Amino acid sequence: MGLENIGITLDERGRIPVNEYLETSVKGIYAIGDVVKGAMLAHKAEEEGVLVAEHLSGQKPHINYLLIPGVVYTWPEVAAVGYTEEELKTQNIKYKSGSFPFKASGRARASMDLDGFIKVLSDASTDEILGVHMIGPRAADMIAEAVVAMEFKASAEDIARMSHAHPTYSEAFKEACLAATDNRALHI
């Protein structure tokens, strides 16, 4: 691309180094998306584009990269946001785990989409949701509820107490939150 002609050098993996506002080493030139560090996701690039635009207009933007969901568009779909169990263990964060299988979901049974489950990881003392992992029908859509919950620092109990329409796939998220909150899933 000739970036070296304007003074931009790539890192060891061929990415463009940027600062917290995604500005390169050349003042006034910004980079986002697949060419910078982080997951190669269109929605990550979109958030980065918004961050740059807000920064240039004098606002004070931020991105919490931990809360950008990863999605694999297979069947069944796979989606995750937040920490994995391995990351929590490495950081010595005590956590609770609850999961709920789609085979116990009324909607999944009616639709014959029985493969998969939802797992919720929450802080052992505060119950704040730290990670959500899904494999199953509509996971790409359902992960948004987990992102909202985590953005507002909801506990597993908060989600467990919310009404979810029946029969829907999203009930499995509520059930996994119930499971993470003293193993209280209703439909197992």
55 flagged as catalytic: no
Measuring CA to CA, how many Å separate 22 from each of 11, 157, 180?
Answer: 15, 37, 37
Strands 95-101 and 77-82, by their bridges, are unpaired
What does the radius of gyration of the chain's CA atoms come to, in whole angstroms?
Answer: 19
163 burial type by CB count under 10 A (0-12 exposed, 13-18 middle, 19+ buried):
exposed
What DSSP designation does 155 have? B
Rounded to whole angstroms, how far apart are CA atoms 128 and 147?
13
> What is the per-residue DSSP string for 16-68?
PP--TT-B-SSTT-B--GGGSSS---HHHHHHHHHHHHHHHTT------GGGS
Angle subtended by helix axes 139-151 and 171-180, to nearest 10:
50
43, 55, 62, 166: the active-site residue: 166
Rounded to whole angstroms, how far apart are CA atoms 100 and 84?
17
Active site residue ranges: 166
